[in-house]
Amino acid sequence: MLRGRTVGLRARHEEDIPILRAELHDDVVTASRAEGAAWRPLAPGTKDPRNLTDEQDPRNVPFSVVDLSGGTLIGYANLWGIDNHSRYAHLGLSMLPSARGKGYGTDTVAVLCHYGFVVRGLYRLQVETLADNPAMLRAAESNGFVREGVLRSAAWVMGEFVDEVVLGLLAHEWQPPAGS
């Protein structure tokens, strides 16, 4: 397990999937804001492609995020679109509603940076988020990410176009949190 100050990133467990599905993916608004495609319902028992982990896919590393104080599942995170030739990847995360506003997102981004830069030897990490997502913008920027641009009206979300912000961080710019 990768450890931050308050969160741990571990492999996705089978028992995580129903919780993530019920609290994140079955919530139309939350899922619509997090996905690049339109939300659609899945029948009970259907394998949700968003939660399946393909151990053979070297371009995607999914994690479950747990609270270190009790081991409780609080969300998911991933490094995706990993390009080992150009040494970059994208990162994403989503916290369960009960875990929002507690600083877990900022710590999760820090742990993903450690994984990307130290463990994987990547040179660049990138975040794409909706312009009206202050929590993700704050989590990224407090870890050193720099706003590199705005893609105007790039995302169709719940009946309207929303701007998308692109943030980047290079390995030599990254400062690990004190005490890590």
Percentage above 70 pLDDT, the chain: 92
Render pLDDT for 117-133 as a digit per residue (tens, 0 to 9).
999 999 999 999 999 99
pLDDT reading at 79 higher than 70: yes
List Cβ neighbours of 56 (8 Å cut-off, separation of 6 or more): none
* Domain ranges, ordered by start, for the chain: 2-173
Q: How confident is the model at residue 179 (pLDDT cuts 50, 70, 90)?
A: low
Reported as half-sphere exposure (CB side, CA atoms, 13 A), residue 166 has a value of 13
Question: Is the model's pTM score more than 0.85?
Answer: yes
Identify which has the larger pLDDT, 25 or 87.
Answer: 87
pLDDT reading at 80 higher than 60: yes
> How many other C-beta atoms lie within 10 A of the C-beta of residue 180?
13
What number does CATH give the domain 2-173? 3.40.630.30
List Cβ neighbours of 140 (8 Å cut-off, separation of 6 or more): 109, 127, 129, 167, 169
First to last CA, the chain: 14
Q: How confident is the model at residue 38 (pLDDT cuts 50, 70, 90)?
A: confident
Query: Residues for the chain: how many in total?
Result: 180
Average of per-residue pLDDT values in the chain: 91
Identify which has the larger pLDDT, 27 or 91.
Answer: 91
Q: Any idea which of 7-21, 46-60, 123-137 has the lowest mean pLDDT? A: 46-60
Identify which has the larger pLDDT, 23 or 135.
Answer: 135
Question: What pLDDT does residue 129 have?
Answer: 96
Question: What pLDDT does residue 174 have?
Answer: 97
